[in-house]
Amino acid sequence: MPKRMTKTCYRTLEEWAAEFRSAAHADKLSIFRDHLKRLGLPDKPKLLLEGSIQIVWFCAIYAVLDGQEKRFIDFLNLQKYDPSQAPHARYAFTFDVFGKTCARVLVDHKLSVLDLADLYNHPWEDYKTVGYHYIWITRTDWAELKKKEKQYLEEQVEYDLTFDYAEDELDFWFDDSRNKSSLFVCVQDHEEMDEDAGGHNT
**Model pTM score:** 0.90
pLDDT of residue 180: 87
Is-contact 2 61, C-beta < 8 A? yes
What pLDDT is attached to residue 148?
Answer: 96
d(CA 128, CA 130): 7
For the stretch 60-98, pLDDT in tens is: 888 888 877 778 889 999 999 999 999 999 999 999 999
> What is the rounded CA–CA span in Å between residue 2 and residue 89?
27
Q: Is the pLDDT of residue 3 over 90?
A: no
What is the mean pLDDT of the segment spanning 149-178?
Answer: 93
